[in-house]
Chains A and B, each alone.
Chain A
């Protein structure tokens, strides 16, 4: 099992460009998450999905959109990238949304917006 996979690993964008970060999990998990990690800020939740077909905003959703394409895949889209979106993006999955469930993280995408 690959666990949680993310593509791409690295990306450089110019301000205003758009891109989609891909995430897939093969653990048959119901819930999936997108976080961003900035120095000194910990992990901040952007969006999450409780199950296929549902998505909800997290702590910092502005400037992002998501799609839960199916049970395995959860993508994050930046429509018009801004330098403030320079960050490391992690996708995670879990059995369910309950705080009792551990989260499994992907390797991350390191995004730089110039």
Chain B
């Protein structure tokens, strides 16, 4: 069935370094959402991208939607300890219901 694939599964970075996670689909997506889950917490919606080539920023976070609407990325500039957690992308399946990727777990080394 429809899947959104996320890479990498885990990422360790030094505090202050940048971080990027990627989300890929074999089919065109009408939209994509990103969520963040802090350790021990629950997923929280961050943003939705809808347009081809769309770029949105939230402070140090930059979200991109590919031109073909088959991939997306989340880039964090100068990571901080508050960025620790798991980042999920979510896209629609054929029935227009959200399917979550398996997430990228970010660890920050002080």
Contact = CB atoms under 8 A, between A and B. Distances in A.
Are chains A and B native binding partners rather than an unrelated pairing? yes
Interface of A: 35, 40-43, 45, 48, 90, 92, 97-100, 102-108
Contacts of A41: 102
Interface size range of chain B in the complex: 20 to 34
Contacts, number: 50
Interface of B: 9, 30-31, 33, 41-45, 48, 50, 88, 90-93, 96-103
Contact of A105 (B31, B44, B91, B102): B44
B88 A105 contact: no
A100 B98 CA distance: 9
A40 B91 contact: no
B43 A99 contact: no
Residue with the greatest number of chain B CB neighbours at <10 A, chosen from A35, A98, A107:
A98
